[in-house]
Structure 1
């Protein structure tokens, strides 16, 4: 599941950079659309890294990932949160002005965020992936999954499932289905993911 989420983060960052690079000066509709997509991405990435700090890190320590590694993840999260805040401001400015100059400024902020975020995702995967696979049935990992499930309500979960599946590879979709029962995906993503499919997914089409 972690790599499925990371895949969605990487996809959106690439999408934003391409969209901002091609932004037509003065296109207020496009600026508003990109900001809708940004609002979703901002919420998803914030939820992910805050949830990791509160839920995932203790579980990872419980299966043997050392404290210094977890501390380095937290430092990377702090840098990512700072770049996320800067990009949030740039995207809000673009929504207000819809100028090519502000699209360029947002693209620069997005590029910096992408470097910070993807660097962290790569590091986290290198340090934790084998341990998570090895301890897949460990009680600490099972409890981590339950805590993440309880963290959000059906509406937010539905948007999340719609988001991670939007543009996902066959490998990522397979991994998702292994982690989440099919009926849950169908109900949550189908019913509660409608707002994402209506308001955000078309931005990338």
Structure 2
């Protein structure tokens, strides 16, 4: 969740960004399956790149879910009467996803060590399973829990979740995280999201962050990095250079 410029603060939680963040995990979990499946047997260098990308993905998903478990759900729970089962479902799905991540992580390490075709194929099957479970969870969260958050959680509590995630994100990954949010956003979403950032963050994104994100995506995606990438705001010019 984005750090908010105090001048842009709202009296209600900015829950629209949850769908934007969820797009990251839907996209990257789907794409990881495609990228791993395309690696030829024995390509240790490519396997190492994707294993590193997977570890970064897991860190991001863990930060997202732990922020909900430790800050967001406790803030919401006192306001629920007969709807507490919705949070129980979220927590159960988080647990199931954690177990799946552990399994995929073991398969990823084994495949990265040898880049063998049977290990790759087993990993691809586990990645598909993770993607399906993740999408089921994100769909349920957006349709059944986010409306409750919008109704019962204050903007300050919502902001605290974002601040916690921001504080735990390595500084050298902040522009990567921002680019990931903006990549599939509409022009209006990009303009609103970037407009809510503090001015220094907007400047860093425009001057250096976009290039950093493009380089990272080209390194990870290879031939899949040819699509449109985020420009940071509606009408912003494409940066020159790599």
- Hey, what does 2:89 align to over in structure 1? 72
Kept after mapping to 2: 8 A contact 1:161/1:193: no
- Give me the whole-angstrom Cα distance separating, in 2, the residues matched to 1:67 and 1:170: 34
Q: Give the deviation of 1:54 after TM superposition.
A: 0.9
Kept after mapping to 2: 8 A contact 1:87/1:110: yes
Give 5+ residue unaligned stretches, structure 1.
Answer: none
Q: Give the deviation of 1:152 after TM superposition.
A: 4.0
- Hey, what does 1:7 align to over in structure 2? 23
Kept after mapping to 2: 8 A contact 1:31/1:94: yes
TM-score (norm 2): 0.71
Which structure's CA Rg is the greater one? 2
- Give me the whole-angstrom Cα distance separating, in 2, the residues matched to 1:49 and 1:67: 18
Change beyond 3 A, Cα 1:174–1:76: farther
Change beyond 3 A, Cα 1:136–1:76: closer
Give the total of aligned pairs: 204
Which residue among 24, 38, 41 is the counterpart of 1:25? 41
Alignment of 1:128-147 (within 5 A): 128-134=145-151, 138-147=155-164
Which residue among 49, 71, 82 is the counterpart of 1:55? 71
Q: Give the deviation of 1:2 after TM superposition.
A: 1.6
- Give me the whole-angstrom Cα distance separating, in 2, the residues matched to 1:153 and 1:102: 31
Q: Which has the larger displacement, 176-185 or 80-89?
A: 176-185
Give 5+ residue unaligned stretches, structure 2.
Answer: 1-16, 226-242
Which residue among 166, 171, 178 is the counterpart of 1:161? 178
* Bigger fraction of residues in helix: 1
TM-score (norm 1): 0.82
Root-mean-square deviation (CA, aligned residues, Å) is 3.0
> What are the Cα deviations for residues 106-136 of structure 1, in whole angstroms up to 9, with x where unaligned?
1011011111111111100011333444568
1:103 has 2:120 as partner: yes
Kept after mapping to 2: 8 A contact 1:21/1:107: yes
- Give me the whole-angstrom Cα distance separating, in 2, the residues matched to 1:92 and 1:164: 27
